[in-house]
């Protein structure tokens, strides 16, 4: 039987960091197992292809939620990366850490060692910031962070319009202050995507003590006497096992990590019984506490053509500008689409931002999958709640890993979330009425001029709100009865098993979740190696 010191399940944002850090000293054998394929594909490398990855069946799990009670029974599309690099190979590349208070809150909840002062060194240590180092940034890490190589004029216009509304300019959302409007920093190098795989895994593939297996979907974690001893998977109809001498580390992401725990007999007995799964250990919190950023898009038609649209003039502009990619590694092929945005307060009296904006130089709808609307020249604004109060859950749809987990986002189940979403739509509209954006706008597509009262806006939100792809919390860190891992990310009650990915966040951070997940994995590696 094959064995390794450490088995990591899932080669995503967290898994690639762990594979690097645990194999670096050469003392331990490490096996990283990824369900998806290799990340050697032009769509992953070229930033603008992020739109195409939304529709990729090969490298995107393309999950869907169950019908959402408060969103007109719509099933919400949940893309997730299925390749080395995981979701960092299909994401929008924005480098955002969240707010100091997010981590101080984790510590206040009892998670010693996870306050801002503790996590900042890990953000800095994993970062190579092209713009240089300072109190908040590092230059010796693996993850390349750069300015966007594409800064469209229309994105600049958005920044000016938002400033006119009174929102301050900010050139670094990860510095002293998060609040403000500006261009996002991106995980790119030389105009190409810099995923977690590219940063932490690819340079280390030649290490003799590191084995990377792709196209293998782990079926369950083997548990014996409350101890994880290895993993099991199916290959060509045969059941195969790999044993772990030291630990199994689960990094399959916020939907698949709880699924795999439950399939391995760890979870709420009621849920396991429904699928005749033998209980190994009762942990009622597995799959609960799902939190995600609910988002609403406001879309306008414009009489301006230098943006992304399926129109002849846009196509010509696109071709002319795309050429700079091949000569200078810049231009619109390097665009992350949401080049500009920011963090704002819905009310100036608030202590910190509660809404995030992503400006889109296209008539965007349905995750970019609505081709018809892209026939119009348009601009759009994502507005999402940074700390929504609604929580959902992940359960099983069968006793097999081949069935997708059941996702209940339960968005807008808390009434405060709807109130803030209505404000978010009003703020987006307010920005669109300012110069220089207002001069190019010819018509509001969504919500449309007929939609004016709060009740009408709420109805629009129910019919259109979506995820902005940041599910967390389903194997939460803590010491209360609903927590799944402790502050060293060890699964409560089971030896030699940790969960290390976005699922361990006890509460959703106020921003995009890739950099925080990388930070979590880098800190976990130190905990494992007792550094
Ligand atoms: C479309 C999109 C856009 C986003 N944009 C941004 C952004 O711009 N900035 C940002 O900060 N964040 C962004 N995010 C969020 C961010 O990328 C994720 O929060 C982060 O990548 C999560 O990391 P993870 O390690 O928890 O999971 P993942 O990176 O998803 O990794 C989980 C891995 O486990 C594998 N796996 C699952 N089940 C199994 C199994 N049974 N056996 C073996 N392997 C398995 C998966 O294939 C996957 O590779 C975006 C996400 C998406 C989907």
pLDDT single digits (tens) 101-152: 999 999 999 999 999 999 999 999 999 999 999 999 999 999 999 999 999 9
Confidence category of residue 237, pLDDT binned at 50, 70, 90: confident
Q: What is the pLDDT of residue 465?
A: 98
d(CA 195, CA 321): 24
**Percent of the chain clearing pLDDT 70 (strictly above):** 100
Question: CB-based contacts of 143: which residues, under 8 Å, 6+ apart?
Answer: 95, 126, 127, 128, 187, 194, 196, 199, 200, 515, 518
Q: Which of 77, 83, 87, 183 to mutate to test the pocket of ligand 1 (most atoms within 8 A of CB)?
A: 87
Q: Please tell me the residue having the least CA distance from ligand 1 atom 24.
A: 253
Distance 216 CA to ligand 1 centre (A): 17
Q: Is the dihedral of CA 92, 97, 98, 104 positive or negative?
A: positive
Q: Which of 513, 515, 524, 525 to mutate to test the pocket of ligand 1 (most atoms within 8 A of CB)?
A: 513
Distance 443 CA to ligand 1 centre (A): 36
Q: What is the mean pLDDT of residues 359-363?
A: 98
DSSP letters for 60-124: B--EEPPPBTTTTTBPPEE--B-BTTGGGGTS--B-----HHHHHHHHHTT-TT-SHHHHHHHHH
Q: Please tell me the residue having the least CA distance from ligand 1 atom 48.
A: 86
Distance 33 CA to ligand 1 centre (A): 14
Distance 251 CA to ligand 1 centre (A): 9
Q: Tens digit of pLDDT for each residue in 520-531?
A: 999 999 999 997
Distance 13 CA to ligand 1 centre (A): 6
- CA 256 to each of CA 57, 86, 95, 226, 407: distance values in angstroms, whole numbers, following the listed order: 17, 12, 24, 21, 10
d(CA 146, CA 72): 40
- CA 531 to each of CA 25, 141, 388, 525, 528: distance values in angstroms, whole numbers, following the listed order: 12, 17, 35, 8, 8
Confidence category of residue 165, pLDDT binned at 50, 70, 90: very high
| Residue among 314, 473, 341 at smallest CA distance from 407 | 473
- Block residue for tokens 């945005």: 341
Distance 87 CA to ligand 1 centre (A): 3
Q: Please tell me the residue having the least CA distance from ligand 1 atom 37.
A: 252
Residues in contact with ligand 1 (CB, 6 Å cut-off): 9-15, 33-36, 79-82, 86-88, 90-94, 96, 217-218, 251-254, 256, 260, 401, 469-470, 501-502, 512-515, 517
Q: What is the pLDDT of residue 78?
A: 98
Confidence category of residue 331, pLDDT binned at 50, 70, 90: very high
159 pLDDT exceeds 80? yes
Query: Does 470 participate in catalysis according to the annotation?
Result: yes
Q: Tens digit of pLDDT for each residue in 259-300?
A: 999 999 999 999 999 999 999 999 999 999 999 999 999 999
Distance 88 CA to ligand 1 centre (A): 6
Between 454-464 and 415-432, two packed helices, what is the crossing angle to 10 degrees?
Answer: 100
472 pLDDT exceeds 90? yes
Q: What is the pLDDT of residue 531?
A: 79
Q: Please tell me the residue having the least CA distance from ligand 1 atom 47.
A: 82
Annotated catalytic residue within 105, 128, 470, 492: 470
Confidence category of residue 236, pLDDT binned at 50, 70, 90: confident
Q: Please tell me the residue having the least CA distance from ligand 1 atom 4.
A: 91
Distance 187 CA to ligand 1 centre (A): 15
d(CA 49, CA 449): 33
Q: Which of 95, 178, 232, 252 to mutate to test the pocket of ligand 1 (most atoms within 8 A of CB)?
A: 252
């Amino acid at each position: 039987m094959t064995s390794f010191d450490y088995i990591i399940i899932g080669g995503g944002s967290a898994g690639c960091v762990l594979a690097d850090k645990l194999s670096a000293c050469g003392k331990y054998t490490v096996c990283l197992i990824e369900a998806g394929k290799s990340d050697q594909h032009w769509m992953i490398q070229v930033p603008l292809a992020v739109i195409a990855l939304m529709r990729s069946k090969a490298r995107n799990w393309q999950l869907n939620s169950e019908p959402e009670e408060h969103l007109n029974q719509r099933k919400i599309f949940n893309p997730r990366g299925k390749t080395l690099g995981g979701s960092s190979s299909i994401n929008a590349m924005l480098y955002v850490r969240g707010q100091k208070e997010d981590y101080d809150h984790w510590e206040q909840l009892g998670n010693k060692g996870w306050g801002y002062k503790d996590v900042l060194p890990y953000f800095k240590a994993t970062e190579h910031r092209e713009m240089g180092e300072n109190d908040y940034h590092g230059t010796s890490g693996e993850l390349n962070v750069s300015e966007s190589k594409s800064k469209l004029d229309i994105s600049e216009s958005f920044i000016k319009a938002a400033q006119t509304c009174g929102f301050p300019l900010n050139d670094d959302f990860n510095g002293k202050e998060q609040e403000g409007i500006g261009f996002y920093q991106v995980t790119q190098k030389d105009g190409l995507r810099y995923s977690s795989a590219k940063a932490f895994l690819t340079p280390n593939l030649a290490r003799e003590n590191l084995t990377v297996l792709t196209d293998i979907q782990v079926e369950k974690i083997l548990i014996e006497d409350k101890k994880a001893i290895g993993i099991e998977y199916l290959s060509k109809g045969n059941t195969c096992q790999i044993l772990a001498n030291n630990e199994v580390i689960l990094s399959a992401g916020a939907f698949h990590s709880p699924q795999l725990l439950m399939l391995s007999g760890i979870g709420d007995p009621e849920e396991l019984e429904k699928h005749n799964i033998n209980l190994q250990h009762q942990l009622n919190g597995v799959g609960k506490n799902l939190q995600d950023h609910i988002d609403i898009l406001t879309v306008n038609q414009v009489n301006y053509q230098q943006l992304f649209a399926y129109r002849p003039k846009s196509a010509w502009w696109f071709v002319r500008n795309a050429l700079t990619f091949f000569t200078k590694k810049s231009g619109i092929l390097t665009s992350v689409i949401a080049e500009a945005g920011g963090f704002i307060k819905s009310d100036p009296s608030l202590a910190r931002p509660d809404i995030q904006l992503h400006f889109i130089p296209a008539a965007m709808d349905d995750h970019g999958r609505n081709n018809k609307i892209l026939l119009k020249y348009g601009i759009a604004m994502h507005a999402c709640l940074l700390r929504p109060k609604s929580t959902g859950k992940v359960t099983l749809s069968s006793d097999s890993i081949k069935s997708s987990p059941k996702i209940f986002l339960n968005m807008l189940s808390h009434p405060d979330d709807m109130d803030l979403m209505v404000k978010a739509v009003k703020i987006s509209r307010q920005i669109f009425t300012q110069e220089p954006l207002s001069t190019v706008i010819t018509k509001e597509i969504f919500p449309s001029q007929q939609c004016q009262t709060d009740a009408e806006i709420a109805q629009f939100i129910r019919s259109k709100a979506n995820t902005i792809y940041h599910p967390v919390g389903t194997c939460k860190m803590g010491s209360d009865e609903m927590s799944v891992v402790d502050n060293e990310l060890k699964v409560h009650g089971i030896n030699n098993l940790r969960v290390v990915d976005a699922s361990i966040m006890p509460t959703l951070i106020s921003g995009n979740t890739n950099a925080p997940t990388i930070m979590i994995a880098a800190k976990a590696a130190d905990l494992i190696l007792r550094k």
